[in-house]
Amino acid sequence: MHTFQRLVFVLLLATASSFLTAQSTASGKIIVNADLGKDTISKHIYGHFSEHLGHCIYGGFYVGENNAKIPNIKGVRTDVVDALKALKIPNLRWPGGCFADTYHWKDGIGPKSERPSIVNTWWGGVTEDNSFGTHDFLDMCELLGTEPYLSANVGSGTVKELADWIQYVNHDGTSPMADLRRKNGREKSWGVKYWGIGNEMWGCGGHMTPEFYANIYRQYVTFMTDWTNTGGLFRVASGAGGNNYNWTEVLMRDIPLRMLDAVALHHYSVIDWNAKGSATEYSEGQYFTIMKKALEMEELVQRHTTIMDKYDPKKRVALFVDEWGGWYNVEPGTNPGFLYQQNTMRDAMIAATTLNIFNNHCDRVKMANLAQTINVLQAVILTDEEKMLLTPTYHVMKMYNVHQDALLLPVDVQNCNYTFENQSLPALSASASRDNSGVTHISVANIDSKETKSVTVELRGIAVGTVEAEILRSAKLQDHNTFDQPDAIKPARFNGFKRNGNSIEMELPPFSVVVLAVKR
């Protein structure tokens, strides 16, 4: 080979090597505008959902008052109480879900031995003995220090049934339902604020048209009162499933704003409703598809918000995403109607990116409810008799609870890509806030399944002082906690960053979540 040819060959090799190096060290930048915050991230974005489904209530929250094997307070597991209090759950939605529109609340009050049984037609056809009812749930919420969010039965109930339930739980004066509550052992009312008027009325709640439901909604809320004339009840309309934008359009058009406090939205990350795939044994292609579905939440929130803005430009009506999460096939050998699935690092990625989206849209998104709390779908807790474990999703939500009721700081993400078979998704997701003590928290997720991302976080408007960080990561996407190894995945101190003036430079491993705490 001639000298000139050798020189050209060397230059081509160097160019190719440089290109490959650039590909393997993809970088992104996150600009935090720390002096431009104006909206507060409601703590209620970090809410949860507990339905009479599988072992969410029975065996999850509730093991019975006479259970000597598992420590409990009035039948509620103390280990679950401690874990959820550490998570700072702000609200808990109950009794459904689809179960709500088959539930008649009077079946769940009074002596347990006298409560009628029903068949849970939606979830497994099992017998529901109603041993966990209104008193049990609302007392448990007090134990947890969380606000109850009750879903009313519109599909098979009546207006009077809802009016009586409100009187039963909220009226402190003399009335038939308040007197019945006292007879059943509770003197003071619970003062429940959040009320959902039915659930998925386009589906399991009655397969209604939006026009029909809007009229039904108006009828129900007409007879809702808290006897104070101060707007103490927060009324939530059953909203759209995913991209059914016409549903939101009709509700906002046909329901007077004075009768409406929030519109709900449900969205699940599913590969295919007819072939959901395993919760633990999945390919990169299945992971990519799930993350694409999860990131669709950004468009859903934006487009439903745009419709709401047309009728409510002052943003008085909130958007409640009161069901969200990943949905897969049940674990082998379990009841298909119980929706019990494991929870891997894939679920941590769903949680991190979704919560970042909600934080960044906190001007309209005021509540969200992960589905579901224990043993069902994307749970934060799994139980097996006396055993309990915390899932990767639990750890993300605990890392992120620093954002609750903090001031949202706008972020500008100059992203890099996560690429799979000629398809690309934004690899980085981020949100930022400043708490009451002046600490700025920045949550960042790298969803790329293979590549570490070099990320620069530039803070504008404040001087950066000390920085601490926590990371959630694992060796494989499919990794998960088990009852034999409950701490296989848990947060750890993160030192993979360095200060550079008012910037923080860090190497974010594949499928990892980092939360930075920046003091001035």
Can you tell me the distance from the alpha carbon of 296 to that of 425, in angstroms, rounded to the nearest whole number?
11
Residue 19 domain flag:
no
Can you tell me the distance from the alpha carbon of 269 to that of 293, in angstroms, rounded to the nearest whole number?
5
Look up tokens 């098979």; give the residue: 156
Last residue of a domain, one of 374, 405, 436: 405
User: Do 358 and 329 fall into the same domain?
Assistant: yes
Give catalytic residues, as residue numbers. Answer: 200, 323
User: Do 366 and 420 fall into the same domain?
Assistant: no
Maximum C-alpha span of the chain: 104
User: Do 494 and 392 fall into the same domain?
Assistant: no
Q: Let me know how long the chain is.
A: 520
User: Do 166 and 312 fall into the same domain?
Assistant: yes
- Residue 167 has a CB neighbour count (10 Å cut-off) of 20
Amino acid at 321: V
Crossing angle of the two packed helices 134-144 and 78-87, in degrees rounded to 10: 50
Can you tell me the distance from the alpha carbon of 90 to that of 193, in angstroms, rounded to the nearest whole number?
13
Which CATH number do you get for residue 463? 2.60.40.1180
In whole angstroms, how far apart are CA 501 and each of 73, 457, 463, 507, 518? 52, 11, 9, 17, 13
User: Do 428 and 394 fall into the same domain?
Assistant: no
Compute the CA torsion angle 250, 253, 257, 262 (nearest 10 deg).
30
User: Do 397 and 435 fall into the same domain?
Assistant: no
Phi, psi of 354 (to 5 degrees): -65, -45
Q: Which residues pair with 389 in a beta bridge?
A: 382
In 3D space, the residue among 113, 114, 115 whose CA is nearest the CA of residue 104 turns out to be: 115
Amino acid at 366: K
CA count, 13 A, side-chain hemisphere, 462: 23
User: Do 236 and 307 fall into the same domain?
Assistant: yes
At 232 the pLDDT is 87
Residue 20 domain flag:
no
- Residue 21 has a CB neighbour count (10 Å cut-off) of 9
Domain limits for position 460: 26-37+409-518
Can you tell me the distance from the alpha carbon of 301 to that of 324, in angstroms, rounded to the nearest whole number?
12
- Residue 9 has a CB neighbour count (10 Å cut-off) of 11
Cβ(157)–Cβ(90) under 8 Å?
A: no
User: What are the pLDDT digits (tens) for 291-309?
Assistant: 999 999 999 999 999 999 9
Task: Show the low-confidence residues of the chain (pLDDT under 70).
Answer: 1-25, 227-231
Last residue of a domain, one of 386, 405, 424: 405
In whole angstroms, how far apart are CA 203 and each of 101, 196, 215? 11, 15, 17
Which CATH number do you get for residue 341? 3.20.20.80
User: Do 398 and 418 fall into the same domain?
Assistant: no
- Strands 194-197 and 147-152, how do they pair? parallel
DSSP-derived secondary structure for 180-192: HHHHTT--S----
User: Do 472 and 433 fall into the same domain?
Assistant: yes
Cβ(220)–Cβ(159) under 8 Å?
A: yes
Residue 331 domain flag:
yes
Residues 6+ apart with CB under 8 A from 7: none
User: Do 281 and 386 fall into the same domain?
Assistant: yes
Last residue of a domain, one of 382, 405, 428: 405
Cβ(254)–Cβ(311) under 8 Å?
A: no
Can you tell me the distance from the alpha carbon of 381 to that of 134, in angstroms, rounded to the nearest whole number?
23
Residue 186 domain flag:
yes
Residue 3 domain flag:
no
At 520 the pLDDT is 85
Can you tell me the distance from the alpha carbon of 378 to that of 342, in angstroms, rounded to the nearest whole number?
8
At 226 the pLDDT is 77
In 3D space, the residue among 456, 457, 400, 458 whose CA is nearest the CA of residue 433 turns out to be: 400
Can you tell me the distance from the alpha carbon of 392 to that of 479, in angstroms, rounded to the nearest whole number?
9
User: Do 327 and 370 fall into the same domain?
Assistant: yes
Q: What pTM did the predictor assign?
A: 0.93
Residue 11 domain flag:
no
At 229 the pLDDT is 52
User: Do 58 and 122 fall into the same domain?
Assistant: yes
Can you tell me the distance from the alpha carbon of 257 to that of 247, in angstroms, rounded to the nearest whole number?
16
Peptide bond into 372 cis (omega under 30): yes
Token output for 505:
């430079």
For the four alpha carbons of 327, 325, 155 and 312, in that order, the dihedral sign comes to negative
Can you tell me the distance from the alpha carbon of 199 to that of 207, in angstroms, rounded to the nearest whole number?
11
Can you tell me the distance from the alpha carbon of 317 to that of 306, in angstroms, rounded to the nearest whole number?
12
Can you tell me the distance from the alpha carbon of 365 to that of 44, in angstroms, rounded to the nearest whole number?
9
Can you tell me the distance from the alpha carbon of 289 to that of 418, in angstroms, rounded to the nearest whole number?
12
Q: How many domains does the chain have?
A: 2
Residue 138 domain flag:
yes
Residue 16 domain flag:
no
User: What are the pLDDT digits (tens) for 244-269?
Assistant: 999 999 999 999 999 999 999 999 99
